[in-house]
Amino acid sequence: MELIEDIDKIEKPFKNAVVTIGNFDGVHKGHQALFDKVMEESDSISGTSIAITFEPHPLKALSKKAPPLITRKDQKVELISASGIDKLICIPFTKEFAAISAQEFIDHLLIDKIGMKVIVVGPDYSFGKNREGSIDFLLKAGEDKGFRVIVPDWVNDPEATDGSEKDRISSTMIRNLVMDGRVDETKRFLGRHYQIRGKVVKGRERGGSKLGFPTANIKLHDELCPRMGVYAVTVETAKGNFKGVANIGYSPTFDDHLFTIEVHILDFSADIYGTRIRVNMIKRLRDEKKFASIEELSNQIRSDIETARTILK
């Protein structure tokens, strides 16, 4: 996949461009279904499959009340690339860009610059100044300008009972599950486990010396942090992939009121300070708890590790 971050560097329209547009936060199964349809249509006309997204998220550019992102830019690019899309155009989103009319967006960007022949969007998609570009607007523009508009069916919660619009997979749904600690439920919407990323930094150096369980202290890269507690996880490092137990919170037994994310990586002893790791959140095991002694906490960690081993078999 080619990543294009400056639309002015697009020298000529792409061949038979089939386009989808969105923020794609989470790159969940609904987004993946759009990408699949784009590639299917592109193959049918020997064209170019293109996804268009924005950086930063429009809500961050226009409002101070933007929710935390499920996937920051680097992960979003990786996931869209893995889908098989030919080109990802990442447009800088500014207040000036937000002021562009829907008609100008279609005429000058999608048609003249990109060469769009087909657009694939979800049924709730809107664009342009004041979100004036509705699906009806797109359909009318398609008739006038000669491009096709495809609006796939809703992509719903696979465990929903009635298949109605309220069961549609959404970034908000996934974000709420993560913040509630229900990380094991996110896989059926994401198609993968929710993942946090970060750099391993020096911590309070008590995991190995005081508790007998050394931990990797993570400086979190992501915006969306799971609910505080203890989790069974898998860990991707430069040394390989491992199982682990993560603690997110304030470690109340030590009463130092410092928020940390610490991961005890099972059967692992390599030095990974300063490196970036990825932690896949598999299942929440319990709340944080203040223990009466270091020994009691150590015994609980030992129990958490055995529980995690069972879950991660």
pLDDT for the residue 164:
53
Asked if residue 205 belongs to a domain, the reply is: yes
Strands 276-286 and 148-150: unpaired
pLDDT along the chain (313 residues), means of 10: 95 97 95 97 98 93 87 97 98 92 96 98 89 93 97 68 64 97 97 97 65 89 97 97 96 80 94 96 95 90 97 95
Burial category of 206 from C-beta neighbours within 10 Å (exposed 0-12, middle 13-18, buried 19 and up): middle
- Do 124 and 17 lie in one domain? The reply is yes
pLDDT of the residue at 257: 75
Task: Give me the pLDDT at residue 165, please.
Answer: 53
- Return d(Cα 116, Cα 157) in angstroms, integer: 31
Q: Are residues 197 and 248 located together in one domain of the fold?
A: yes
**Per the domain annotation, does 131 fall within a domain?**
yes
Residue 280 lies in a domain: yes
Same domain, 198 and 109: no
CA–CA separation, 150 and 138 (whole Å):
10
Question: How many domains does the structure of the chain reveal?
Answer: 2
Q: Specify whether 205 is located in the same domain as 270.
A: yes
119 in the same domain as 38: yes
Contact 75, 195 (CB under 8 A): yes
104 and 201 both lie in a single domain: no
Output the pLDDT for position 158: 58
Instruction: Indicate whether 15 and 129 sit together in one domain.
Output: yes
Identify the CA nearest to 186 among candidates 300, 45, 280, 288: 280
- Cβ(52)–Cβ(20) below 8 Å: yes
- Domain assignment of residue 184, yes or no: no
Asked if residue 186 belongs to a domain, the reply is no
Q: Are residues 133 and 198 in the same domain?
A: no
| Residue 175, domain member (yes or no) | no
| Structural domain for 281, as ranges | 193-311
Residue-level pLDDT at 159: 61
Asked if residue 76 is part of any domain, the answer here is yes
Does 180 fall in a domain? no
Give the pLDDT of residue 284: 98
Please check whether residues 130 and 201 belong to one and the same domain. no
Whether 31 and 171 have beta carbons less than 8 Å apart is answered as: no
> How is 267-309 classified by DSSP, letter by letter?
T-----TT-EEEEEEEEEEE-----SSHHHHHHHHHHHHHHHH
Give me the pLDDT at residue 61, please. Answer: 85
pLDDT at residue number 211: 72
> Tell me, what CATH number does 22's domain have?
3.40.50.620
pLDDT at position 190: 97
Same domain, 16 and 134: yes
In sequence order, the β-bridge partners of residue 116 are 17
- Assess whether 138 and 214 both reside in one domain: no
Are 197 and 145 in a shared domain?
Answer: no
The CATH number linked to 284 is 2.40.30.30
What secondary structure, in 3-state letters, does 111-126 show?
Answer: HHHCCEEEEECCCCCC
Residues sharing a CB contact under 8 Å with residue 210, sequence separation 6 or more, in sequence order = 294
Q: Are strands 260-265 and 2-4 parallel, antiparallel or unpaired?
A: unpaired
